[in-house]
Amino acid sequence: MAIEENTDKLIEVPAPTAWPMIFALGLTLAFAGLVTNVAVSMVGFVLTIAGAVGWFREVLPYEHRELVRVEPAVAIVIPQKIGVDYLQVGELGNRAILPLEIYPYSAGIKGGLAGGVAMGILALLQGIALHGSPWYTVNILAATAMPSLANADTATLCSFIPTAFIVAVFIHACASILVGLLYGIMLPMFPHYPAFWAAIVAPLLWTGLLWSSLSVINPVLDARIEWRWFILCQIAFGAVAGFVVNLTERVHTLQHLPFAVRTGIEAPGLGEKRENQD
């Protein structure tokens, strides 16, 4: 089947413009500044206004258009039967992102709890060394969920508050378990120098993220945090969590099996076929 177009025809189309992309970039930066820095929002606001004005001038008072000549086109459709080649396990590096072996979820939970204990000990030592009380860091962490501690003075933060202690332990345990699970998932994807990724790279990235957003998440902690101690605590958490996770025996993934088998659907013949191929 062939399709022919008129070669002498000219059509009008909207002229190309970059203003919509500038407008979108400015709007993104304006909102990103809410959790980073006011200077980012100011730059985004300027780009948003400039992009909106430039975009409107493309259509008002007259729409910018250009003539485009229709090129001759000939399309020939030939039906063909196309086959699908399936990658085998380990072929062509298709396991660079999905490893053949991963750590069980229990390893991430254990690693997170162990790292949380190490981080908690250093946090208590920080309170004793800098403020003469181990409860100082506990109370400023609890201020995340307790507005009554938002404007508390140093004497109050240095005292033992049972409710604040329970809240702080709950927050710290939940965060430690979640980050530990993340370690268990990510470490098999970095086969080279896992200790370096766990103890140095991940804590520094996590610290940078908190530094840019802590003023919104926990203003009390942001105003009173000692960043050198905080980085040390993060490195201790990453080193201990990564060490505990790495001690656990890995389990084979099911990524190479058919979808029906991985989801537990009864599919007669798939399991036998796989065994015959092996």
- How far is the C-alpha of 178 from the C-alpha of 185, rounded, in Å? 11
User: Is 256's pLDDT higher than 50?
Assistant: yes
- How far is the C-alpha of 234 from the C-alpha of 123, rounded, in Å? 10
User: Is 275's pLDDT higher than 50?
Assistant: no
Q: What share of the chain has pLDDT > 90, as a percent?
A: 3
| Cβ atoms of residues 253 and 102 within 8 Å | yes
User: Is 246's pLDDT higher than 70?
Assistant: yes
Closest by alpha carbon to 99, among 256, 258, 245?
A: 256
Q: What share of the chain has pLDDT > 70, as a percent?
A: 77
User: Is 89's pLDDT higher than 60?
Assistant: no
- How far is the C-alpha of 23 from the C-alpha of 109, rounded, in Å? 44
Tell me the pTM. Answer: 0.54
User: Is 95's pLDDT higher than 50?
Assistant: no
User: Is 7's pLDDT higher than 50?
Assistant: no
CA distances from 130 to 123, 138, 157, 195, 276 (A): 11, 14, 13, 30, 67
pLDDT at 264: 58
- Over residues 32-54, the mean pLDDT reads 86
Computed over every residue of the chain, the mean pLDDT equals 77
Q: Give ranges for CATH 1.10.287 in the chain.
A: 10-69
219 backbone φψ class: left, alpha, beta (φ>0; ψ -120 to 50): alpha
The pLDDT tens digits for 8-40 are 577 777 778 888 888 898 888 888 887 778 888
Protein fold of 10-69: Helix Hairpins (1.10.287)
The pLDDT tens digits for 197-230 are 777 887 888 778 778 777 777 676 777 778 888 8
Residue 75 CB coordination number (10 Å): 9
User: Is 146's pLDDT higher than 50?
Assistant: yes
| Cβ atoms of residues 58 and 17 within 8 Å | yes
